Structure 1
Amino acid sequence: MDQHTQEQHADDLGERDLRRLMVALHKVLRELGEDAVAERLPWRAQWLDDLPAASAAGDALAGDAAQHGLQAYSIAFQLLNHAEENAVAQLRRATARLGAKASEAGSWEQVFAQARGRGLAPEEIAAQLRVLRIEPVLTAHPTEAKRQTVLEHHRALYRLLVERENSMWTPAERAALDAATEAALERLWRTGEIYLEKPRLQDERRLVLHFLAAVFPAAVSAFVQRLRQAWESAGFAPALLAGPDALPQIAFGSWVGGDRDGHPGVTAALTAETLSRHRAAALALADEGLAQLAAKLSLSVHRQAPPPSLLAAISERSEALGEAGRAALERNFEEPWRQFVNLLRAALPGAGEIPAAGAFLRAAELDEALGELTEALSAVGADRLVAADVEPLRLQLRAFGFHLARLDVRQNSAFHDRALASLLSVAGVAGGEDYPAWSAVERRALLEGELATARPFVRAGQAPVGEAAAVLGCHEVLADELARHGPDGLGALIVSMTRSTEDLLAVYLFARDAGLLAASDDGWACPLEVVPLFETIDDLARAPAILDDYLGHPLVRRSLVLRQARDGLPRPQQQVMVGYSDSGKDGGIIASFWGLYRAQRALAAVGHRHGVQIRFFHGRGGTIGRGAGPTHRFVRALPPGTVGGDLRVTEQGETISQKYANRGTASHHLELLAAGALAATAFDVAGRSDPADLGPIMDRLADASRGCYRTLIDAEGFIAFFGDATPIDIIEASRHGSRPPRRTGRRTLADLRAIPWVFAWNQSRFVLPGWYGLGTALEALAEEDTAAFERLLAAKAETADRWPPLHYLLSNIATAWMTASPGVMRRYAALCEAEEEGQALLAMIEEEYERTGRLLEAVYGAPLAQARPRIQRVLARRDEALAPLHRHQVALLARWRALRADGNDAAADALLPELLLSVNAIAAGLGVTG
């Protein structure tokens, strides 16, 4: 199946499913008395041929029916998303049936074929897989516009859609599935779309726990099954991937309950409670797995003699567990393998403070015991049962342990400055209250002196109120967790907006005062990683020098060695987080991309000089303006020598539901991450490098695009234009997440988070963070250096010499540019109070939009609608239904702002639910928020 045939097949499947779902929605709405809304659902002529087309789709958004119309549109867009997701999933299945998976971008089969093409033997590929590690990290940024209850209803709808694909159903059974779909749609309609109140952190944590405990275990199992199927279909020996030790390591992280950057609701108590809930969920998962294993291992002594090692292990473990052990042996007398599993269940620790006698302290101990069970089964030739029953549990245990996910703690460097100032003031250090204004030299002198002593500024629990109490309280929780349960559930201490080495060394002082440091042979060391987060363009440029200084510090070196020995690493490892969101807001998409690219190469080189493996943590968001893009292309576009078989990446907001809500989709995205990491690592082994002549060209593009971008956002009246020409005020009033949209509450562009920045531009269809500046940069290059421009075009061409970073960047920008809509931009720009300034800024944006489109046409050799027909079809379908929503939202914004300006707050508040529904509906239509 060639690419065109695949795309056409996917389109046909999507049309079929959308038609079925929309007919069902139409029927439900009619039966509920919503005739006016039902008759004006989007795409009506395409799926309800027996009725005349509605006279005006916008009528569904008029008068008293507007809120119902908005909700119907939002649901319709979600149904379109489900239809497209299922179409892609079914296309993957069809490709597998035809044995054509090697043609599927990012698949295991494609990566294996490419690796062999680079000269790697199966044994070399297997060796890379054995040390591969991927870790998606779930965050709670406020970009999920749908309520948790609504998300669950949508998951149920999708499951019904997939279930109906089975060809075995009788007509009656299909009718039952259709009835269930209609019931799900009615349930969704009656629930409502928007948050009635701002979600609490506990609500966000409950949603993340659902994914971690209920979705990911099955997805990991499906991921392993897919990997082995692809391995064998490539003609490789199955023995090379036999056993859990031969497989990639999958782990999960979370920021929910640990990320306190600009979020006053994340307290020490909430972090402690989150760690406890993680542990309880993980132990419940392990207990359920052991219970299922015990039910399966009903091997009788009458059919096979148990090996002496198993009997000895039963006796030893029973004695260690005391009464609990004896109770476990009172059943299944003639089934010793099952008895052994019963003993393992009895040895699971409780989620509380004190472990019982004989209980496992760490998940690794249970994994080792399951290894003994594996040997006892193999001794009687039951290797099939090992593979079918024991190994899946061991893989689950290695992924989730007794901790479920590693909880990172993130705080802003400016917050740490204020906390340390408070501590210095209490400790009587002269001028300590002015620490945020101290020079780097003054800070370093203080830090070096304090880190040489073990005495704290204050005793535990006696920190002054405010920032100091918040920081020390959090670190004391981590110290307690480390002492009771070990490091498995604890992630990194991440410093947002890292500006200097001193920002990182300050964290060691807090760790000292909280009792978090540990003694080593040469002095104190920190058992948790202190991780810089480089976010702005300038900070990324300074990052290599900061890391070089940091890795050379004796306390840091001791900490690296301590963690290396504890974790059994081949060499010391330092995590570095790079931020895609704020760098994009700061300098535009090209300067952000290239700044990140150059920084990662330089940071990896710094680590190499210090003998330290740099583990990059990619803080990318869910939209192109915040670093998103096709997963496999993102990984392939990372700089040579920076992946190293280890990929840690954030999954934010609505992308969690989009990628992981369903087992098949979740498994597929894990495959894209792992296969991409394998490809990058394998190609590095094979000598991958960047073309030497393209770096200087990218430097010129980054500089020119950043200048163009900064000219716009630094222009007189731009902040007012942004406030008027986008629904940022509604987004800030929304109830999407628990986190405030601004770090400190100041109404400045610097204080505004990247998420609402991108969200607002998307809603008004400027999509400005995703494309602005490219046209000017390419035009300047073409005019000043024709040879360089031609070289760039050749590097983008669809040939074997294509450079992945450039292809990824330009493809993403092209998608963002195609998503923008000049006509819709003008509608929102008409809302500007300063009309003359607003029109001047709109003219700048429109001119750059036209220039970018013209240059992209030169890059692609054709208009984008022609060069990328499938994306054009997808966007055109959405635009048809989005047009009335944008008109309605602009009219609502004008009324709402006028009412507020007149002081009529009651009337303005009455409009707010309808405005929030419009935000949800447009977000659903675009498939993204911020």
Structure 2
Amino acid sequence: MEDRTLPEETAKLQRDVVVLMDFLAEVLDGLGEGSLAASLPFKGREATATDNDRVVHALSIAFQLLNMAEENSAVQMRRKVESHAGLAEEPGLWGQILSQLREQGVAEETIHHELEKVVVEVVLTAHPTEVRRTSALYHLRELYQLIVKLENPVWTPMERREIQEEIKAMLELLWQTGEIFIEKPHVLSELAGIIYYLRSIFPQVLPILEKRLRHAWQDVGFTCNAQEIPPRLPRLRFGTWVGGDRDGHPLVTAAITRQALRELRNSAVSLVNEQLVTMAARLSLSRRLLPVPAPLAELIADVAATLGDRGEEALRRNPLEPWRQVINLMIARLPVDSAGKESDSVQPGQGCYQLAAELCNDLRLVQDSLTAAGALRLARDYVAPVRRTVEVFGFHLASLDIRQNSAFHDLAVEQLMTAAGLQDTGFSGWSEVRRLEFLNRELASSRPFARHDARPGHEAESVIDCYRELVDHIRVWGRDGLGSLIVSMTRALSDLLVVYLLAREAGLTVAGSNGHVCLLPVVPLFETIEDLQGSHLVLRQFLEHPMTRRTLSALCGDAPVQQVMIGYSDSNKDGGILASLWSLYRAQEAMAEAGRQCGVEVRFFHGRGGTISRGAGPTSRFLRGLPQGSVVGNLRLTEQGEVIAQKYANPMNAAYNLELLLAGTAGVSVTQNHCPKKANPLEPAMDRLAETSRRAYESLVTGDGFITFFRQATPIDVIESSRIGSRPARRSGGASIADLRAIPWVFSWSQARYSLSGWFGVGSALERFLREDERAFHEIAANAASWATLNYIVSNVATSIATANPEVMREYASLVEDGELRERIFTVIYDEYLRTTRMLELLFGGPLLEQHPRIHAVLARREESLLFLHRRQIELLPLWRHHRAAQEHGQAEELLILLLETVNAIAAGLRTTG
């Protein structure tokens, strides 16, 4: 969301919050919690009962109500602005984007043509940043729907009272529902949460997105009939990592992957079945009143004959209604039984659909037949949306990526070498030259290392068993539903070629006309600053490799596309925010150019997290800040943890956030395709700033005693002990910061209100730059608003600085036992905080409060209650640490639960975790 606040929005928000707090107070009072009810926040009174841990639970619910009120207020204000000023007034949406393109002189036909190329894929992951249990999330979704329902002015006074009572009942349920995870969730439980959005939210959103594009097209004054815009424009796809992400996650086994693919498939076919049944009920057209086009009649006859008895049964229903008949035949062809589940009696190849594209073709014929018969509205309103659903979700709901760490792959290869009886099996320690010689020699052969029933070792078996599941899936269902083989911590060409070797072992490669090809694309993931800096060299080598060229040709045809994933989280943890974002920018520039030189389009997969330190930020600013030529109408990005609930828990907000992605990607792509590419003259200055910032950041995190300070001045140990995700907090169990995942790293700094990973090092870099090159500094300041890339970076840093609270930081620092260590490191952090604030204000030309009023208003609304929660957490931390060190497990576990409740409440107040 852009940083703008309307006075009317603020007034409405305050009214709504007061009403919701009154409802909660009434519920609490009725449950005998009168003192709690009297001290609820956001009404001029703040919680003071520090001896009562139920206050923490009350504040957590109060923050969630505030979040809902803010979300609903923003939705209602957007609707009001559009109603009075038109679609073009909302930043980043179709109305504004199409208006801007027209003002730039881009022809209508060109825009229409470019829209055909737009593909946006949202990949939902189960990264452990969602602190609330699934039960609590469901209750919150129902509560939000009731709040929205209460907005409707059509209700009578009696009906309004009934809705209010429903809200109070839901609040009572929330009060009595535990929020924290007592046990870690199972991977399939996490998948069920993801499927909820894919199955229940996003299908509702597709028609909304379609209509908004068509109305924006008309409003901007384009001459072609907006109703004729094909429903596939632009294309939206979904992916997921849940059940496929094995990087440091031992619980994601081959069996889990098989079950995840099955659950996704059953949910997708159930969704399609449901929409076909609804469409059949609507299309009650009689052959006596509407002529039946010959192609439709032929389809009915052909399918009925193929299905035999099932076809005859479908035809016996609705004998005078051919459109219903053909839909009944489509339902009979779905690869599920009558209960919507797969069965041995209903399988692809037995008259049933194998690929969703087959169903799409039949739906296209039905749509064309209605159009030919003159029923244009029925074709548009009843058939096109179902066809759109099948195009987006297919028979797989979301494509499942398989991710594993390069070091894990190396161990797998070594075990296979041992099983094959080779003498020197130290593959992971070999030089890159030697590794490549070995891999190229092996890839020229189709001989596997081990027999099919061999058990060479844990890592090898884990990878090969997984790949064999993928082979089985492809044999029955094709490649639909499968994404890519992603290699975490890609550092060299050999890290990627290893995957081809392991794929050969599992039968995931097949013989092509010129040699073996892999049935799935291999995708590098560049994560650290150093790896990003060398990424273009690795990518170029990979694209020039014969195995890659053959694979891309087999998978993509004459227009090869290579996906490349870039990591925001680990690069930030590695070098700080400025070095991270600028290294990502430079890497994309260089890799896009490497792709062009190899005749391959590079599709970037942005591994963004939910916080600014992990790549988050306003969608429109993010897209505008990408390097020219790096989008080319094709965007893939992750949505993680609590961000999924924040953006997509209700259809209207989901539609808004998806429209930002679709319209923003289209706008950036069209603009960049029709503007000559030129380097910004300030790029060398940014290189210097990024390097200076990185050195300042590294001097802190690698300094003597820093890890001790970090572990004592933040609740990192509490977060590591939490059960919010199925995946371990550390990749391999080591104690170093490098081994710690980015999520708990960011989460712990956020809880202690340092937000250090979002700003540290920037002040030092800007101050030194001002001292050494004042003229260049003022040039950067002059372009801080106009250069989109720079604006995105400095705005994110300013937001991170706003979330930091020096008073709270100092109180957490008091937990550090060594006084000298505490003062030494806190002084460095605090001085950099002041320096960064001062330099940002010089850059922006005024106080940050004036530049970013929304974020400051949001935080000010919460600060008093957050301060109570922080102090309660600080009070509990040393007690818990003492009991844990003394191995007093009962007392430690009791205090841990109280601490986790403070973690949840603070996360709800800040609307962020890791």
Match of 1:917 among 901, 909, 914: 901
Question: Which residue is 1:475 aligned to?
Answer: 467
Superposed, 1:663-674 pairs within 5 Å as 663-674=651-662
For the residue of structure 2 that corresponds to 1:58, the secondary structure is: coil
> CA shift at 1:226, angstroms?
1.3
Match of 2:731 among 743, 748, 751: 743
Match of 1:187 among 165, 169, 173: 173
Match of 1:327 among 313, 324, 328: 313
> CA shift at 1:902, angstroms?
3.5
Q: Which amino acid aligns with 1:429?
A: L
Alpha-carbon distance in structure 2 between the residues aligned to 1:283 and 1:244? 24
Q: Which amino acid aligns with 1:40?
A: S
1:29 and 2:28 are equivalent in the alignment: yes
For the residue of structure 1 that corresponds to 2:284, the secondary structure is: coil
> CA shift at 1:319, angstroms?
0.4
Alpha-carbon distance in structure 1 between the residues aligned to 2:349 and 2:576? 56
Alpha-carbon distance in structure 2 between the residues aligned to 1:884 and 1:96? 40
For the residue of structure 2 that corresponds to 1:648, the secondary structure is: strand
Query: Alpha-carbon deviations, 1:842-888, whole Å to 9, x = none?
Result: 00000000001111111121111233222211111111210010010
Superposed, 1:752-763 pairs within 5 Å as 752-763=740-751
Q: Which amino acid aligns with 2:400?
A: L
Alpha-carbon distance in structure 1 between the residues aligned to 2:671 and 2:389? 29
For the residue of structure 1 that corresponds to 2:808, the secondary structure is: helix
Alpha-carbon distance in structure 2 between the residues aligned to 1:684 and 1:415? 39
1:404 and 2:392 are equivalent in the alignment: no
Superposed, 1:796-811 pairs within 5 Å as 796-797=784-785, 802-811=786-795
Question: Which residue is 1:92 aligned to?
Answer: 78
Alpha-carbon distance in structure 2 between the residues aligned to 1:344 and 1:743? 47
1:544 and 2:543 are equivalent in the alignment: no
Question: Which residue is 1:886 aligned to?
Answer: 870
- Checking the alignment, whether the CA contact within 8 Å between 2:56 and 2:902 is kept in structure 1 is yes
Question: Which residue is 1:560 aligned to?
Answer: 552
Q: What's the C-alpha RMSD, in Å, of the aligned pairs?
A: 1.4
1:508 and 2:507 are equivalent in the alignment: no
Match of 2:839 among 855, 861, 884: 855
Match of 2:815 among 828, 831, 836: 831
Question: Which residue is 2:233 aligned to?
Answer: 247
Question: Which residue is 2:613 aligned to?
Answer: 625
For the residue of structure 2 that corresponds to 1:251, the secondary structure is: strand
Question: Which residue is 1:49 aligned to?
Answer: none
> CA shift at 1:437, angstroms?
1.0
- Checking the alignment, whether the CA contact within 8 Å between 2:632 and 2:673 is kept in structure 1 is no
> CA shift at 1:611, angstroms?
0.4
For the residue of structure 2 that corresponds to 1:682, the secondary structure is: helix
Question: Which residue is 1:430 aligned to?
Answer: 423
Q: Which amino acid aligns with 1:43?
A: F
Query: Which 10-residue stretch deviates more, 91-100 or 251-260?
Result: 91-100
> CA shift at 1:316, angstroms?
1.2
For the residue of structure 2 that corresponds to 1:410, the secondary structure is: strand
For the residue of structure 1 that corresponds to 2:306, the secondary structure is: helix
For the residue of structure 1 that corresponds to 2:603, the secondary structure is: strand
> CA shift at 1:13, angstroms?
2.0
- Checking the alignment, whether the CA contact within 8 Å between 1:254 and 1:405 is kept in structure 2 is yes
> CA shift at 1:379, angstroms?
2.0
For the residue of structure 2 that corresponds to 1:41, the secondary structure is: coil
Alpha-carbon distance in structure 2 between the residues aligned to 1:688 and 1:23? 58
Alpha-carbon distance in structure 1 between the residues aligned to 2:554 and 2:519? 7
Question: Which residue is 1:457 aligned to?
Answer: 449
Query: Which 10-residue stretch deviates more, 553-562 or 371-380?
Result: 371-380
For the residue of structure 2 that corresponds to 1:522, the secondary structure is: coil
Question: Which residue is 1:789 aligned to?
Answer: 777
Name the TM-score, length of structure 2 as normaliser: 0.98
Alpha-carbon distance in structure 2 between the residues aligned to 1:344 and 1:646? 32
Alpha-carbon distance in structure 2 between the residues aligned to 1:210 and 1:31? 34
Aligned length: 906
Query: Which 10-residue stretch deviates more, 905-914 or 598-607?
Result: 905-914
Alpha-carbon distance in structure 2 between the residues aligned to 1:463 and 1:806? 53
- Checking the alignment, whether the CA contact within 8 Å between 2:398 and 2:481 is kept in structure 1 is yes
Question: Which residue is 2:355 aligned to?
Answer: 362
Superposed, 1:227-242 pairs within 5 Å as 227-239=213-225, 242=228
Superposed, 1:92-171 pairs within 5 Å as 92-171=78-157
For the residue of structure 1 that corresponds to 2:124, the secondary structure is: strand
Query: Which 10-residue stretch deviates more, 351-360 or 156-165?
Result: 351-360
Alpha-carbon distance in structure 2 between the residues aligned to 1:214 and 1:521? 44
- Checking the alignment, whether the CA contact within 8 Å between 2:121 and 2:635 is kept in structure 1 is yes
> CA shift at 1:607, angstroms?
0.3
Question: Which residue is 1:280 aligned to?
Answer: 266
Alpha-carbon distance in structure 1 between the residues aligned to 2:454 and 2:266? 30
1:906 and 2:890 are equivalent in the alignment: yes
- Checking the alignment, whether the CA contact within 8 Å between 1:126 and 1:246 is kept in structure 2 is no
Alpha-carbon distance in structure 2 between the residues aligned to 1:696 and 1:749? 30
For the residue of structure 1 that corresponds to 2:48, the secondary structure is: helix
Q: Which amino acid aligns with 2:740?
A: L
> CA shift at 1:835, angstroms?
1.8
Alpha-carbon distance in structure 2 between the residues aligned to 1:667 and 1:177? 25
Alpha-carbon distance in structure 1 between the residues aligned to 2:895 and 2:126? 28
1:15 and 2:5 are equivalent in the alignment: no
Query: Which 10-residue stretch deviates more, 149-158 or 463-472?
Result: 463-472
Query: Alpha-carbon deviations, 1:687-745, whole Å to 9, x = none?
Result: 16455311011001101100110010011000011000000000000011000000011
- Checking the alignment, whether the CA contact within 8 Å between 1:123 and 1:240 is kept in structure 2 is no
> CA shift at 1:641, angstroms?
0.1
> CA shift at 1:245, angstroms?
5.4
Alpha-carbon distance in structure 1 between the residues aligned to 2:691 and 2:329? 65
Match of 1:678 among 651, 666, 678: 666
**Percent of aligned pairs with the same residue?**
48
Alpha-carbon distance in structure 2 between the residues aligned to 1:862 and 1:691? 29
Match of 2:476 among 480, 484, 498: 484
Alpha-carbon distance in structure 2 between the residues aligned to 1:835 and 1:277? 54
Q: Which amino acid aligns with 1:225?
A: K
Alpha-carbon distance in structure 1 between the residues aligned to 2:173 and 2:720? 29
Alpha-carbon distance in structure 2 between the residues aligned to 1:58 and 1:685? 58
> CA shift at 1:108, angstroms?
0.9
Q: Residues 121, 919 of structure 1: CA spacing in aligned structure 2 closer, same or farther, 3 A cutoff?
A: same
Question: Which residue is 1:817 aligned to?
Answer: 801
Identify unmatched segments of 5+ residues in structure 2: 337-341
Match of 1:705 among 693, 697, 711: 693
> CA shift at 1:839, angstroms?
1.2
- Checking the alignment, whether the CA contact within 8 Å between 2:396 and 2:480 is kept in structure 1 is yes
> CA shift at 1:304, angstroms?
1.7
Q: Residues 352, 698 of structure 1: CA spacing in aligned structure 2 closer, same or farther, 3 A cutoff?
A: farther
1:441 and 2:441 are equivalent in the alignment: no
> CA shift at 1:650, angstroms?
0.2
> CA shift at 1:913, angstroms?
0.7
> CA shift at 1:894, angstroms?
1.5
- Checking the alignment, whether the CA contact within 8 Å between 1:243 and 1:391 is kept in structure 2 is no
> CA shift at 1:246, angstroms?
5.3
Match of 1:524 among 494, 497, 516: 516
Alpha-carbon distance in structure 2 between the residues aligned to 1:690 and 1:766? 38
Q: Which amino acid aligns with 1:453?
A: S
Name the TM-score, length of structure 1 as normaliser: 0.96
Match of 2:681 among 693, 717, 725: 693
- Checking the alignment, whether the CA contact within 8 Å between 1:423 and 1:463 is kept in structure 2 is no
Question: Which residue is 1:48 aligned to?
Answer: none
Superposed, 1:313-352 pairs within 5 Å as 313-350=299-336, 351-352=342-343
Q: Which amino acid aligns with 1:360?
A: Y
Query: Which 10-residue stretch deviates more, 754-763 or 188-197?
Result: 188-197
Match of 2:486 among 472, 475, 494: 494
Query: Alpha-carbon deviations, 1:228-282, whole Å to 9, x = none?
Result: 1111111123536625455111110000000000000000000001101111111
- Checking the alignment, whether the CA contact within 8 Å between 1:228 and 1:238 is kept in structure 2 is no
- Checking the alignment, whether the CA contact within 8 Å between 1:349 and 1:356 is kept in structure 2 is no
Q: Which amino acid aligns with 1:72?
A: A
- Checking the alignment, whether the CA contact within 8 Å between 1:322 and 1:357 is kept in structure 2 is no
Alpha-carbon distance in structure 1 between the residues aligned to 2:290 and 2:126? 52
For the residue of structure 2 that corresponds to 1:419, the secondary structure is: helix
